[in-house]
Structure 1
């Protein structure tokens, strides 16, 4: 199964209230298969780091599933 992991930008009213209260007018979110996962980030770098973690986790899960299938 292939998973798509992306970083998307949110602008204006799409930014969560907490970040807007801090004066942020833009934020970034991680999408896994088109669905937001986790929190909104105030920097793209933070979101990219989260994306990398998701990719690593999904890759590890995929490898584990392959090993189990080979043993069955």
Structure 2
């Protein structure tokens, strides 16, 4: 099973109050299979870095699962 990891932008009322209080009108979030994971980021760069971590983690889990499948 392959997971899809995306970065999405949230604008307006979708932006958490803590970021709106800092004057932010947009933020970015990481979605794994369409569900938000973690916090909202003030920059796309931060969200993309988080996305890369998710991809690496999911690849590791997938590799372990494949290894278990072939070791039986």
Unpaired stretches in structure 1, ≥5 consecutive residues:
none
What does 1:47-58 align with in structure 2 at a 5 Å threshold?
A: 47-58=47-58
Q: Report the aligned-residue RMSD.
A: 0.4
In 2, Cα distance between equivalents of 1:36 and 1:62: 20
Following the alignment from structure 2 to structure 1, what is the Cα–Cα distance between the partners of residues 49 and 7? 10
Q: Tell me, which stretches of 5 or more residues in structure 2 are unaligned?
A: none
**Deviation beyond 4 Å, 4+ runs, structure 1:** none
Q: Normalising by the residue count of structure 2, what TM-score does the alignment of the two structures yield?
A: 0.98
Task: Note if 1:60 corresponds to 2:60.
Answer: yes
Hey, what's the Cα distance between the residues in 1 that align with 2:2 and 2:57? 13
Instruction: State the alpha-carbon separation in 2 of the partners of residues 11 and 37 from structure 1.
Output: 17
1:37 is aligned to: 37
SS of match in other structure, 2:52? helix
Equivalence for 1:13: 13
Give 1:6 shift.
0.2
Paired positions, count: 72
